[in-house]
């Protein structure tokens, strides 16, 4: 992409180009997309790399063509050949569910190379957090990978400084929970689910919280720390989990049964098996196989 205006970077001008692709794909004219926010001429210049628009106007004209920021960010990242945050999360999650340790090792290796090169660059913090997160995810499949004391301190320092938890931070805590000090993990989880968090009622953030509290409950159960496990099970039971989140509802039932079994209720194993059968019925075979292995280990 050539630079049409020396005042703006290629990345800034790419926003207009990607917007134009969306507008045409959605079937809106420039007049319809501009609406009452900017002139059609201004929009034309924006789409053709001659100028940019203010953030406020951009959000408005994006709404005018029925595109949300996640959709736009993903398309922009693909255009610029950069990695989208949500796709990065999905890529790691899918590799974990598939038990594809080779793929996760490749991700960890690439991120390790980045932090070795970028140690003095401003984005070092972000890259190191990505590396810690990927390394921790890989540890579920390959126990040779663990977080060092320095990495844990770096992670905790970042999390304890957060004033507002976003989707990335929620996943970061959930995926690294097994390496944190238990007292710190309880405190950080309480901060994450605090009603004072302004984004907690956004559906995708709420779903991320539910998913990662479920991960944290597993960590506590595995460690035999039943009091905090029960506390966060109660939190989820009192949470209005929408029927759209059926997988999360089922996972909560499974985790509750697993907790009860660990506490000595042998009949809870039947509930765990029922959850596994439901997953099979829904053709969620990767997750079903994972649970089947866990149940088999308990039976033995």
Arithmetic mean of pLDDT, 35-54: 92
**Is the confidence at residue 35, as pLDDT, over 60?**
yes
Label residue 126 by pLDDT band (50, 70, 90): confident
Q: For residue 154, what are the CA distances in angstroms to 134, 144, 169?
A: 15, 20, 14
Among left, alpha and beta (phi > 0; psi -120 to 50; other), residue 240 is beta
Tell me what pLDDT residue 189 has. 97
Q: Cα 164 to the chain's mean position, in Å?
A: 15
Helix (H) or strand (E) holding 121: none
Tell me what pLDDT residue 226 has. 96
Tell me what pLDDT residue 83 has. 57
CB-based contacts of 231: which residues, under 8 Å, 6+ apart?
none
Tell me what pLDDT residue 118 has. 59
Label residue 87 by pLDDT band (50, 70, 90): low
Arithmetic mean of pLDDT, 239-251: 92
**Is the confidence at residue 82, as pLDDT, over 70?**
no
What does the pLDDT look like over 54-81, one tens digit per residue? Answer: 999 999 999 999 998 888 988 888 888 6
Higher pLDDT, 244 or 84: 244
**Is the confidence at residue 86, as pLDDT, over 70?**
no
**Is the confidence at residue 12, as pLDDT, over 80?**
yes
Label residue 2 by pLDDT band (50, 70, 90): very low
Arithmetic mean of pLDDT, 213-236: 96
User: How far is Cα 119 from Cα 121, in angstroms, rounded to an integer?
Assistant: 6
Torsion angle of alpha carbons 218, 219, 225, 230, nearest 10°?
-40
Arithmetic mean of pLDDT, 29-39: 94
- Please report, rounded to a whole number, the percentage of residues in the chain having pLDDT higher than 90: 68
Helix (H) or strand (E) holding 134: helix 124-139
CB-based contacts of 89: which residues, under 8 Å, 6+ apart?
167, 168, 171
**Is the confidence at residue 120, as pLDDT, over 70?**
no
Q: What integer best gives the mean pLDDT of the chain?
A: 90
3-state helix, strand, coil in the chain (%, to 5): 70, 0, 30
- Radius of gyration of the chain, Cα coordinates, nearest whole angstrom: 23
Tell me the two tokens of residue 180.
């944190």
What does the pLDDT look like over 164-223, one tens digit per residue? Answer: 998 889 999 999 999 999 999 999 999 999 998 888 888 888 999 999 999 999 999 999
Tell me the two tokens of residue 271.
């509930």
Label residue 1 by pLDDT band (50, 70, 90): very low
Tell me the two tokens of residue 259.
């907790």
What does the pLDDT look like over 270-293, one tens digit per residue? Answer: 999 999 999 999 999 989 998 999
Arithmetic mean of pLDDT, 81-97: 72
Q: Are 16 and 38 in contact (CB under 8 A)?
A: no
Model-level pTM greater than 0.75?
yes
Q: Are 224 and 240 in contact (CB under 8 A)?
A: no
Tell me what pLDDT residue 152 has. 97
CB-based contacts of 58: which residues, under 8 Å, 6+ apart?
15
User: How far is Cα 234 from Cα 193, in angstroms, rounded to an integer?
Assistant: 13
């Amino acid at each position: 992409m050539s630079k049409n205006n020396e005042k703006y970077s290629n990345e800034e001008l790419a926003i207009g180009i990607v917007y134009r692709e969306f507008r045409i794909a959605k079937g809106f004219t420039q007049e319809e997309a501009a609406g009452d926010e900017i002139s059609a001429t201004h929009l034309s210049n924006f789409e053709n790399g001659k100028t940019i628009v203010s953030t406020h106007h951009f959000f408005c004209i994006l709404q005018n063509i029925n595109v949300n920021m996640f959709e736009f960010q993903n398309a922009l990242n693909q255009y610029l050949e950069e990695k989208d945050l949500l796709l990065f999360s999905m890529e790691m999650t899918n590799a974990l569910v598939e038990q594809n340790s080779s793929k996760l090792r490749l991700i960890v290796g690439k991120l390790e190379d980045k932090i070795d090169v970028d140690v003095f660059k401003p984005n070092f913090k972000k890259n190191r957090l990505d590396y810690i997160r990927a390394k921790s995810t890989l540890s579920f499949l390959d126990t040779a990978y663990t977080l060092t004391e320095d990495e844990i301190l770096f992670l905790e320092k970042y999390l304890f400084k957060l004033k507002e938890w976003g989707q990335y931070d929620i996943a970061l805590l959930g995926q690294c929970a097994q390496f944190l000090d238990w007292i710190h993990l309880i405190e950080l989880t309480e901060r994450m689910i605090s009603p004072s968090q302004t984004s907690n009622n956004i559906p995708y953030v709420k779903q991320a919280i539910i998913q990662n509290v479920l991960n944290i409950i597993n960590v506590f159960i595995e460690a035999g720390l039943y009091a905090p496990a029960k506390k966060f099970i109660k939190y989820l039971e009192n949470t209005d989990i929408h029927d759209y989140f059926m997988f999360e509802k089922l996972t909560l039932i499974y985790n509750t049964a697993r907790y009860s079994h660990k506490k000595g209720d042998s009949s809870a194993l039947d509930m765990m098996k029922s959850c596994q059968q439901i997953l099979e019925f829904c053709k969620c075979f990767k997750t079903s196989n994972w649970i089947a292995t866990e149940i088999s280990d308990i039976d033995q």
